[in-house]
């Protein structure tokens, strides 16, 4: 094999290895990307603060009003040929007619965009699109003129009729207005937020360059973008970003998170300090106070010192906020621990109380039953009634205490979680409910259920309670109950579906609370503990339980268990 073919083989192997490595990395990259995206949007922290959003929107409104005023003011300058209305100082380039029209149109669109809700906003939508379109079209027209070397004002004889200098807008202005026009058109389109942010930040940067040029009297800028146009483009660009301060990039700036607070403190300083210092350096040099190198050194030191001050201030307030947060966290932990302790005490109390009450209650109910059996014939009807009520009350109380004991026992005796075959568990539940199933003529079906990690005695309680309820709350129709399961990424989703009387949606969470019932004892017997027991067991297994139901249609109880 000659050297060139061996090199080709080596290269081929190398490429193959690289491709294999990339393939290996792909899932890892995808995982990291997904995790980063999740980290990026912690909704509870990043939510924009409404009061701050409102002040940003106010800024946006004022920016649009200023743009309209400047545009009109310049148009009047052209109509009545008053130079001072077209430019703030002689020697500066004048704002052209198309620039003034674009200012009015863009300002108008931005102003109307503040109305976000209601019929008015809907009616304004086409007008906003029209104004934004005019802004973009005028800018595009100027850009085309620059690209192809046209001068439409000259061709159409406008320059000779109107006052001198009434030609196309500056090239930089046309770029700025084009970006503004497009941003205004797509501002409320979903998933276009990034484009709006990008375009407006570029147009703001272009106009800021022009403003800095005017501030430092840099020749090319004075001849390029007129000062009025630079101010309008800068204000409208910032106004567009602030108009939707509750979403995208701005949501982070307006949020109450540490990042948002820092951003609001640092942003004005970052914008203003270098501009102001640069201006001071320039003026100092012009007045002959110092030469350029010394000016630069002074500027740099002043810049560094001021930024250090701003950062120190920011860090200080961050530190204060962090201390407060830690304090609040500590207090929260303390309260949670106290709550857990008092909960455990209460549960212990409920257990002991119900356990100790059982004995005397059994004695009472036994005695009353004997009274009923032995003397029901000898006593009068009134006494018979009283004894009957007492026996019923004692039996009810016994059931209630038994249920309460079951409920409080759940947290006191926690058996370790071991593999439990759910098919087996459901079979046992059905065997326990055999009489009720036969009486109700229920048709019960079930999927092939998995083996899960759990406490099989407690899981039996869950399935039995849910199936028992399905039987108890049946309707006139033939009762059909289905026990189903669905495999999900990290858990099993179990369901017990019936075609019974159903539950109104507003009670969907209430029924899982202890002693909460939707019916009187006369309608359906029960203590209102069954579903609370199910909830406690499912949560002890790390799952969730809920119901989806429609009155008269039936109910489906869902619960999850870890795989």
Q: Which residues contribute to the site for ligand ADP (CB under 6 A)?
A: 465, 469-470, 473, 498, 500-503, 511, 517-519, 526-532, 555
Q: What's the closest the beta carbon of residue 406 comes to ligand ADP, in angstroms? A: 12
* Residue whose C-beta lies closest to ligand ADP: 526
Whose Cβ is closer to ligand ADP: residue 100's or residue 531's? 531
| Shorter beta-carbon distance to ligand ADP: residue 103 or 465 | 465
Q: How far is the CB of 366 from ligand ADP (least distance, A)?
A: 25
Choice between 193 and 465, CB closer to ligand ADP: 465
Given the complex with ligand ADP, which of 249 and 518 has the nearer CB atom?
518
CA distance 557 to 542: 17
Strands 545-550 and 554-562: antiparallel
Give the shortest CB-42-to-ligand ADP separation in angstroms: 36
Token representation of residue 120: 């008015």
Choose between 323 and 509: whose C-beta lies nearer to ligand ADP: 509
Alpha helices in 149-257 (DSSP H): 152-155, 158-161, 171-186, 193-215, 219-223, 227-243, 248-253
* Least distance in angstroms from the C-beta of 526 to ligand ADP: 2
Least separation in angstroms between residue 422's CB and ligand ADP is 19
Nearer residue to ligand ADP within complex by CB, 123 or 396: 396
The torsion defined by the Cα of 142, 144, 149 and 155, in degrees rounded to 10, comes to -60
Which of 108/500 has CB closer to ligand ADP?
500
Burial of 152 (0-12, 13-18, 19+ CB in 10 A): middle
Cα distances (angstroms) measured from residue 116 to each of 5, 65, 110, 186, 255: 69, 17, 11, 14, 20
Beta bridge partners of 546: 558
* Tokens at 306, concatenated: 């001021």
DSSP 93: P
- C-beta of 139 vs 496, nearer to ligand ADP: 496
Kindly give the pairing relationship between strand 480-487 and strand 443-446: parallel
- The distance of closest approach from Cβ of residue 516 to ligand ADP in the complex, given in angstroms and rounded to an integer, is 6
**Minimal distance, residue 491 CB to ligand ADP, in Å:** 23
Task: Retrieve residue 261's tokens.
Answer: 């607070």
Cα first-last separation, the chain: 58
CB of 413 to ligand ADP, least distance (A): 21
Distance CA 294, CA 303 (A): 14
H/E stretch holding 505 reads: none
**Shortest reach from residue 466's CB to ligand ADP, in Å:** 7
Q: What is the DSSP string of 18-86?
A: HHHHHHHHHHHHHHHHHHHHHHH--HHHHPBPHHHHHHHHHHHHHHHHHHHHHHHHHHHHHHTT-HHHH
165: left (phi over 0), alpha (psi -120 to 50) or beta: left
Q: Which residues contact residue 82 at a Cβ distance below 8 angstroms, ignoring those fewer than 6 apart? A: 76
The distance of closest approach from Cβ of residue 500 to ligand ADP in the complex, given in angstroms and rounded to an integer, is 5
Quick one: tokens of 84?
């001072």
Q: Which is nearer to ligand ADP, 387 or 529 (CB)?
A: 529
Nearer to ligand ADP, 88 or 526 (CB): 526
Q: Which is nearer to ligand ADP, 181 or 530 (CB)?
A: 530
CA 419, 422, 425, 427: dihedral to nearest 10 degrees? -140
Minimum gap (Å) between residue 504 Cβ and ligand ADP: 10
Which is nearer to ligand ADP, 139 or 501 (by Cβ)?
Answer: 501
If you count DSSP H runs as helices and E runs as strands, how many of each does the chain have, helices first? 20, 7
CB of 330 to ligand ADP, least distance (A): 38
């Amino acid at each position: 094999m000659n050297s060139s073919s061996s090199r080709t083989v080596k290269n081929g192997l190398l490429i193959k290895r690289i491709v294999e490595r990339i393939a290996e990395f792909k899932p890892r990259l995808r995982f990291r990307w997904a995790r980063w995206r999740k980290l990026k949007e912690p909704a509870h922290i990043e939510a924009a603060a409404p009061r701050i959003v409102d002040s940003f929107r106010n800024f946006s409104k004022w920016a649009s009003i200023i743009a309209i005023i400047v545009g009109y003011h310049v148009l009047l300058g052209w109509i009545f040929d008053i130079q001072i209305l077209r430019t703030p100082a002689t020697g500066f380039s004048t704002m052209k007619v198309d620039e003034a029209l674009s200012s009015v149109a863009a300002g108008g669109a931005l102003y109307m965009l503040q109305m976000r809700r209601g019929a008015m906003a809907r009616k304004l939508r086409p007008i906003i699109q029209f104004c934004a379109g005019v802004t973009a079209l005028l800018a595009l027209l100027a850009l085309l003129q620059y690209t192809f070397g046209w001068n439409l004002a000259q061709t159409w004889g406008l320059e000779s009729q109107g006052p001198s200098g009434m030609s196309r807008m500056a090239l930089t202005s046309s770029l700025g207005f084009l970006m503004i026009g497009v941003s205004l058109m797509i501002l409320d389109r979903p998933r276009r937020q990034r484009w709006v942010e990008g375009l407006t930040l570029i147009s703001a940067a272009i106009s800021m360059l022009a403003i800095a040029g005017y501030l430092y009297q840099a020749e090319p800028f004075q001849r390029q973008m007129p000062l009025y146009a630079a101010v309008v483009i800068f204000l409208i660009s910032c106004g567009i970003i602030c108009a939707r301060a509750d979403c995208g990039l701005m949501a982070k700036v307006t949020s109450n998170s540490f990042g948002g607070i820092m951003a609001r403190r640092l942003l004005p300083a970052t914008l203003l300090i270098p501009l102001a210092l640069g201006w001071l350096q320039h003026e100092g040099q012009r007045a002959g106070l110092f030469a350029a190198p010394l000016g630069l050194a002074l500027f740099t030191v002043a810049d560094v010192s001021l930024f250090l001050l701003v950062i120190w201030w920011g860090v200080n307030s961050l530190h204060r906020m962090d201390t407060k947060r830690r304090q609040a966290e500590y207090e929260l932990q303390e309260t949670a621990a106290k709550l857990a302790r008092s909960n455990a005490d209460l549960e212990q109390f409920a257990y002991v109380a119900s356990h100790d009450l059982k004995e005397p209650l059994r004695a009472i109910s036994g005695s009353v039953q004997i009274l009923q059996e032995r003397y029901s014939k000898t006593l009068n009807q009134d006494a018979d009634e009283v004894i009957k009520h007492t026996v019923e009350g004692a039996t009810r109380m016994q059931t209630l205490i038994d249920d309460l004991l079951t409920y409080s026992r759940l947290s006191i005796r926690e058996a370790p979680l071991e593999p439990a075959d759910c098919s087996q568990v459901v079979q046992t539940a059905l065997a326990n409910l055999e009489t009720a199933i036969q009486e109700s003529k229920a048709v019960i079906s079930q999927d092939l259920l998995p083996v899960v990690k759990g406490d099989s005695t407690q899981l039996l309680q869950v399935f039995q309670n849910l199936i028992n309820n399905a039987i108890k709350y049946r309707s006139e129709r033939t009762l059909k109950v289905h026990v189903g399961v669905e495999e999900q990424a990290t858990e099993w989703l179990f369901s017990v579906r019936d075609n019974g009387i159903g539950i109104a949606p507003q009670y969907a969470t209430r029924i899982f609370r202890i002693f909460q019932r939707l019916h009187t004892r006369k309608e359906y017997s029960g203590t209102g503990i069954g579903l609370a027991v199910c909830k406690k067991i499912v949560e002890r297994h790390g799952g969730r339980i809920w119901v989806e139901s429609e009155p008269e249609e039936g109910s489906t109880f869902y619960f999850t268990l870890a795989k």
